[in-house]
Amino acid sequence: MGRIGRLIESFFNDRSVRNVSVNLGADNNVDIAHSQPCNEDSLPLPNDFVVSVPVEGEDNIAAVGYVDPTNQGESSPVQPGEKRIYSRDSSGAIVAEAHFKADGTLYIKSKQGITVDSSNGVRIIGTVIVEGDIAATGDITADGDVKAGAISLLTHTHNYTTPQHPSAVGPTGVPQ
C-alpha cells in the first residue's frame, strides 16, 4: 500500500544521488529516492505532500509524486483540462509561471523578467502588441513601413518652401 507523507528536506546521499527525507506520520521519517518525470528537473519544498509506494529491493520505498498543498485549495486557478508550471521561492510563493489554459491561451508571468536565449534568433508568427516601450541594442529593420502616429517613414513628405532652401541640403518643414 502506498503512503502519503510530508517532505522534510531534499539532499544528496553518499552516492551523490538526490534523496528526500519524508515524514510518514508521527516519528516515522524515511529517506527515499527522489523521482521525477523524464526530461523534467524539479525539487519539492518542505511540507509538500509526497506520494510513496513500496518497491522490491534494498531501498524498499520510492517517491512517485509530489503535490504542492496550496494547489489543493480553491486558490488554484487551474480549471479542468489545464496545466500550470511554476517556480516557488523558499516561502512557497509563486514567482514565475506558465499557465496553459483551456481557452487555448498560454499565459506566462514572471516577477523578475523573462529572458529568451537563442543563438539562432527568435521568430514570432503573428502580430506583436507591446504594452510599453521597445528598446534595441542593435538595428531595427522592416520590410514594410514604419509609422509614428500618422507619419509614414516610407511616404512622408517635407515642405521645401517654408523655410525656402534652393540648395540640395538644408532645413525643411516637419515631416508631413
* Complex with Fe ion: residue 46 or 175, whichever CB lies closer: 175
Class of residue 15 by CB neighbours under 10 A (exposed 0-12, middle 13-18, buried 19+): exposed
Q: Count residues contacting Fe ion (CB under 5 A)?
A: 1
Query: What does the per-residue mask of binding to Fe ion show for 117-156, with x meaning CB under 5 A?
Result: ----------------------------------------
Which ranges of 73-136 does DSSP label H, i.e. alpha helix? none
Helices vs. strands in the chain: H and E counts, helices first: 0, 10
**Rounded least distance, CB 166 to Fe ion, Å:** 19
Provide, rounded to whole angstroms, the least separation between the CB of residue 130 and Fe ion.
24
- Residues in region 35-64 near Fe ion by CB under 5 A: none
Beta carbon of residue 172, minimum distance to Fe ion (angstroms, whole number) = 8
Q: Which residue is nearest to Fe ion (CB)?
A: 175
Closest CA to 97 of 62, 71, 131, 74: 71
Considering the complex, state which of residue 47 and residue 172 has its C-beta at the smaller distance from Fe ion: 172
Q: How far is the CB of 139 from Fe ion (least distance, A)?
A: 18
Half-sphere exposure of 27 (CA within 13 A, CB side): 0
- Measured distance CA(42)–CA(48) in Å, rounded: 13
- In the complex, the smallest distance separating the C-beta of residue 156 from Fe ion, rounded to whole angstroms, is 6
Give whichever of 137 and 161 is closer to Fe ion, judged by the CB atom: 161
As a whole number of angstroms, the distance between CA 96 and CA 113 comes to: 9
Range in contact with Fe ion (rule: CB under 5 A) among 12-20, 116-124, 159-167, 168-176: 168-176
Nearest alpha carbon to residue 94 among 119, 122, 75, 80: 75
Q: Give the binding site for Fe ion (CB under 5 A).
A: 175
